[in-house]
Amino acid sequence: MLCLTLAACTPPPAGFSTIPRPVKILRITTQAHAHDATYAGEVEPRYHAVLSFRVPGKIVDRQVNVGDIVKKGQLLAALDETDYHLSLRNLQARLASAQAEHRYAVDDLVRYGDLRDRNVISAHEYGRNETTLKVVQARVKALEIEVAQARNQLGYTRLHADRDGVITALGIESGQVVVSGQPIVRLAQLDEKEIHIDIPEHRIKDIRQDQEATVSLWANPQYRITGRVREIAGTADTASRTYRVKVALPQAQDQVHLGMSGSVTLSATPVEKIGIPLSALFSPHDRPDEVRVWLVDIESATVRSQLVKTGRMLGDQQIEVERGLDPGQTLVTAGAHRLIEGQRICIADESQSAGNFITKACRPS
């Protein structure tokens, strides 16, 4: 009983007034918002190839430099052909010998056939010579294959462009000895270009395949291109924890050169979010690290503070609330800094009356 008596006799907090404070209110709703985000990137070719010799050898000729534009079939570099010529000539000589032996074996078998028909030799003797011919035929066929391979290897000593493009990297110098498969030239196609950007982990969910993107070049910021997301990496880079995204650029962009720096602006997929005016936020004097709003109890026309977590700005005057508020609640948007817990309020603008619950605007009685 004593506790109840003391509570009843406790004076209201300092600054508390029974006179309703005029405020402006807002019924909380969700709205679809999409955030634009800009990322730095670099122009790259969509298609490029690293060309290599298919045989080892010593570089004796280099026909191109980095930046050269080449045509399909153009000679890029060549190896010393001496050993490959000798190998080919050796095999050709062996093939000629085998072919001569084959002709002799054919003629020999014809003679043995006549002798067999006249019963001069046995069928066994004829069969042995027939087998000899088959062996020689097989040797000729094997040598023909080896000659073809040697001729191919001789051709492999000359490296040609397999497409039109531009030389973006060189890995050799004249006189250098290279092995089969060693990178020699990096050749990029010029007809299709794209810009590569890296997206942080928390933003990758906003990116989708074939999404439209606005590209601007740092060399010419006024020149804008509309591209589309062509490829999204399936895994994040282990070092940077970002996802590589490739944005395809339309063809016939003469002002776009490989290696140029630029920026890509992407709009996230619109999502429903709660946004409130900045004027609704306040921080208590004794807890300045907290962000709160005043929620309105419609039936009693009083307010209570609510802790909220804010997110990004939604325009110039609104901010996203990630946690603490629900659609349908009513909050104070003007006059928040003059209120205290449990304060009675009235509506400064009668047109803002929240339904039929707060029926009295702030006007003389």
In a domain? residue 42? yes
Residue 3 has pLDDT above 60, yes or no: no
Region 256-264 average pLDDT: 92
Residue 325 is predicted with a pLDDT of 94
Residue 272 is predicted with a pLDDT of 85
In a domain? residue 135? yes
Region 246-262 average pLDDT: 87
Of the pLDDT bands very low, low, confident and very high (cuts 50, 70, 90), residue 94 is: very high
Structural domain range at position 116: 82-155
In a domain? residue 329? yes
Provide the domain count of the chain.
3
Same structural domain, 164 and 95: no
User: Among 155, 177, 206, which residue terminates a domain?
Assistant: 155
Instruction: Report the relative pairing of strands 75-79 and 57-62 from DSSP bridges.
Output: antiparallel
Interacting residues of 170 by C-beta distance below 8 A, sequence separation 6+ = 62, 64, 65, 66, 184, 185, 186
Residue 69 · residue 153 · CB < 8 Å: no
User: Among 269, 284, 315, which residue terminates a domain?
Assistant: 269
- Give 12's DSSP letter: P
CATH number at residue 295: 2.40.420.20
Query: Residue 53 and residue 61: Cα distance in Å, rounded?
Result: 13
Same structural domain, 255 and 107: no
Counting every residue written for the chain, the total comes to 365
Residue 361 is predicted with a pLDDT of 54
Residue 11 has pLDDT above 50, yes or no: no
Same structural domain, 41 and 169: yes
In a domain? residue 92? yes
Residue 280 is predicted with a pLDDT of 94
- Give 18's DSSP letter: S
Of the pLDDT bands very low, low, confident and very high (cuts 50, 70, 90), residue 18 is: low
Of the pLDDT bands very low, low, confident and very high (cuts 50, 70, 90), residue 4 is: very low
In a domain? residue 205? yes
Same structural domain, 168 and 40: yes
Same structural domain, 261 and 298: no
CATH number at residue 45: 2.40.50.100
Same structural domain, 222 and 258: yes
User: Among 220, 244, 269, which residue terminates a domain?
Assistant: 269
Same structural domain, 277 and 264: no
In a domain? residue 56? yes
Instruction: Give 277 or 126, the one with higher predicted confidence.
Output: 277
Which of the residue ranges 112-126, 150-164, 208-222 would you say has the lowest mean pLDDT?
112-126
What is the residue-averaged pLDDT of the chain? 87
In a domain? residue 358? no
| Selection from 277, 305, 304, 279 nearest residue 292 by Cα | 305
Residue 352 is predicted with a pLDDT of 54
Same structural domain, 199 and 340: no
Same structural domain, 135 and 93: yes
Of the pLDDT bands very low, low, confident and very high (cuts 50, 70, 90), residue 114 is: confident
Interacting residues of 220 by C-beta distance below 8 A, sequence separation 6+ = 255
The pTM (predicted TM-score) of the whole model is 0.61
Q: Sort 92 into a burial class: Cβ within 10 Å, 0-12 / 13-18 / 19+.
A: middle
CATH number at residue 116: 1.10.287
Residue 23 · residue 348 · CB < 8 Å: yes
In a domain? residue 360? no
Same structural domain, 205 and 334: no
Residue 16 is predicted with a pLDDT of 52
Same structural domain, 174 and 73: yes
Residue 132 is inside which H or E element, if any? Answer: helix 123-155
- Token readout for 172 is 């050799």
Same structural domain, 189 and 57: yes
252: left (phi over 0), alpha (psi -120 to 50) or beta: left
